[in-house]
Amino acid sequence: MSIVDVQNTPDHTEAGEVPPWWRQAAVYQIYPRSFADANGDGLGDIPGIISKADYLGGLGIDAVWLSPFYPSALADGGYDVADYRDVDPRLGTLADFDDLVDALHSRGIRVVVDIVPNHSSDQHAWFQEALAAGRGSVARERYIFREGTGPDGSQPPTDWDSTFGGPAWERVEDGQWYLHNFAIEQPDLNWSNPEVRADFVTTLRFWSDRGVDGFRIDVAHMLTKDLTEPLPSQAALDAMPRDGQHPMVDRDDVHEVYAEWRKVFNSYDPPRTAVAEAWVDKGRVPLYAHPESLGQAFNFDLLQADFAADQFLSVVTANLELAAASGSSSTWVLSNHDVVRHATRYGLAHPERDAEGRPTVKHGLEWLRSGGASSGIDREVGARRALAATLFMLGLPGSSYLYQGEELGLHEVAEISDAERQDPTFFRSEGEDLGRDGCRVPLPWHTDGPAFGFGGGGSHLPQPPWFADYAMSGQQGDPASSLSVYRRALELRRALQTEESLEWIATGRADVLRYRRPNGWEVVTNFGSTPFALDRDDSQVFSAEPLEGALPGESTVWFAPDDDR
Ligand code: GLC
């Protein structure tokens, strides 16, 4: 394992200029409660992550993004934050957090933390104060409280739906209602209130001062709202254009918040970074990725595409253009804590589709409902395509965001009973939506032993017996394992990621894509099932070994620059 100090990461540019690290980083997302459990209580924790620092160092990633580890009643997997400037006592202490930052920095890995500004937890001191202080109080002004409608105010202020299903308003004891765009336990903060704005600046400084390198901004497009009375109906909201003036989402004025944050980020050396989780119309993504705003934004197009050459080609082309429009780099995501793992998506017999026949974010619902019926999935096909897609992605210009466990080729877990489910989307949709627990099951580190080595005790979500086949220890020494392919690609990736562009090379086949980076690295992906004859035999990494000079179906190969070409 190479130990590289983050401040001294080598310069990759030929021009001698050091590009900011985040532009083409491989960022590994950790969902802390499901990564590694040091104290054996069934819940992953910060000391658990520290215990895996060598593993992370050996992966070849540039940064770790930590999903929320803050005090939380876990109404939404930690995205209900009770205190933005502390560590959940079940996960450790602030001192443990500092040790984690040191452990990662000393291995050349930056640290990105999740900031959840749209809503707090209902357990947050501010919300508790608001409940106690009553109507008209300064404390209620930090949230969005309104009187109800109907003769006795017993009806909600509007008919708005929450993102997780069910109404977006909840009534409190004295009869007022508060807005929650997500779970009931996640009251929306009032971003028109300068005190709310100031408090988040304090939070950003708090973590930046502790050495955090960047921030992932949760639902970055929903903070500011125009709540001028009379409030529109849900139907009226749905019919309004999303042009920056919509009362609830993607408002132009949210960038005033981020302009202020940008000043905070830039007051540090090196400047702190941010990436927006913003589900907005494509043309508006550059506003978030702009250097005066958050600086980078997620692009979720690959996780909504089939494993198909035409779809991958158009996603990449469109997103490289968008990145150029803001001056940021593009981001690529195949899996995260909110979606069915890509190994599973690609193996599903019947992925869900929208009215136009495109895959939806809800892939796998039917299969999840079946409890994981083997007739609904071909796990091998899924795993093969997933690895091919990952290698295709890792070679692209821009940052790749990886989700814990995908390096093991891990599949979604469907074998979770209703009683074991945790995701509020399951409860709020009354079981219509099975939620996101299946990608949040604690990782298998060992092929046997308690909780497959996740910790000494249990596991807060059930691990199925087949997790043994994906355990990290079982893949370590096998050069053909998913883990070994990830490691090799991530190691090579550092040489590949120089100038941020690519050139498509004609392949003569609609189901084969080939691109070349300006430094000569080449990536070829065969999305079809017929082998593709290769004109070179000097591959550096492959998702499936080339056979007799041909790239097998559903596989990717990388070639290093060849000076004679
Ligand atoms: C984001 C998170 C998701 C969370 C939601 C509400 O979409 O990724 O996990 O439930 O925001 O905070």
Question: Is the CB of 403 within 6 Å of ligand 1?
Answer: no
Residue pair 112/65 in contact (Cβ under 8 Å)? The answer is yes
pLDDT tens readout for residues 33-74 = 999 999 999 999 999 999 999 999 999 999 999 999 999 999
Tens-place pLDDT, residues 297-335: 999 999 999 999 999 999 999 999 999 999 999 999 999
Residue in this structure with the two tokens 């809800």, named with its chain if needed: 362
Ligand 1 centroid–CA 28 distance in Å is 17
pLDDT for residue 3 is more than 60: no
Phi–psi pair at 133, nearest 5 degrees: -75, -25
Please tell me the predicted confidence (pLDDT) of residue 364.
87
- Is residue 462 within 8 Å of 422, Cβ to Cβ? no
| Mean pLDDT of the 186-199 span | 98
Whether residue 300 has its Cβ less than 6 Å from ligand 1 = no
Q: What is the pLDDT of residues 517-527, one digit of tens each?
A: 999 999 999 99
**Residue 213 pLDDT:** 98
Amino acid at 452: F
Secondary-structure class of domain 23-117+194-485 per CATH: alpha beta
Q: Is the pLDDT of residue 353 over 90?
A: no
Alpha-carbon gap, residue 287 to 325, rounded angstroms: 9
Superfamily per CATH, domain 125-179: Oligo-1,6-glucosidase; Domain 2 (3.90.400.10)
The amino acid occupying position 550 is A
Sorted by sequence, the CB contacts under 8 Å of residue 2 that are 6+ apart come out as 57, 108
Query: Is 14's pLDDT higher than 60?
Result: no
Mean pLDDT of 186-206: 98
Task: Indicate the residue type of 525.
Answer: T
pLDDT band at 352 (very low <50, low <70, confident <90, very high): confident
Q: What is the mean pLDDT of residues 172-198?
A: 98
pLDDT surpasses 60 at 1: no
Please measure the distance between the N-terminal and C-terminal CA atoms of the chain and give it in whole angstroms.
Answer: 33
* Centroid of ligand 1 to alpha carbon of 454 (angstroms): 24
Residue of 72, 164, 182, 186 to mutate, ligand 1, most atoms within 8 A of C-beta: 182
Find the mean pLDDT for residues 476-484: 96
Give the confidence band of 354 by pLDDT, cuts at 50, 70, 90: confident
Atom of ligand 1 nearest to the CA of 116: 12
Q: Which of 338, 427, 437 is the best mutation target for the ligand 1 pocket, counting ligand atoms within 8 Å of the beta carbon and taking the most?
A: 338
Give the whole-angstrom CA distance, residue 482 versus residue 476: 9
Packed helices 379-394 and 482-496: angle between N→C axes, nearest 10 degrees: 10
Ligand 1 contacts CB of residue 80 (under 6 A):
no
Ligand 1 center to 218 CA (angstroms): 6
Q: If you average pLDDT over residues 138-143, what whole number do you get?
A: 98
Sequence ranges of the chain with CATH classification 3.90.400.10: 125-179
Strand 169-171, strand 177-179: pairing: antiparallel
| The pLDDT of residue 236 is above 60 | yes
Assess contact for 331 and 216: CB atoms under 8 A.
no
Atom number of ligand 1 nearest to Cα 436: 9
In short, whether 182's Cβ falls inside 6 Å of ligand 1 is: yes
Q: Is 226 helix (H, G, I), strand (E, B) or coil?
A: coil
What is the per-residue pLDDT across 490-513, written as a single tens digit (0 to 9) for each?
999 999 999 999 999 999 999 999
Most distant CA pair in the chain: distance in Å? Answer: 82
- What token pair was written down for 485? 């392919």
Asked if 438 and 416 touch (Cβ cutoff 8 Å), the reply is: yes
pTM: 0.96
Residues of the chain with CATH 3.20.20.80: 23-117+194-485
Cα dist from 511 to 45, 221, 543, whole Å: 44, 36, 17
CA angle 138, 87, 260 (to 5 degrees): 55
The total number of residues written for the chain in this structure: 565
Q: Phi, psi at residue 315, to the nearest 5°? A: -60, -45
Pairing of strands 512-516, 522-526: antiparallel
pLDDT of residue 2: 31
Distances (CA, A) of 234 to 183, 237, 254: 18, 5, 21
Q: Ligand 1 center to residue 150 CA distance, Å?
A: 32
222 CB within 6 A, ligand 1: no
Residues near 90 by Cβ (< 8 Å), separated by ≥ 6? 41, 43, 45
Write out the two tokens for 428: 């709020």
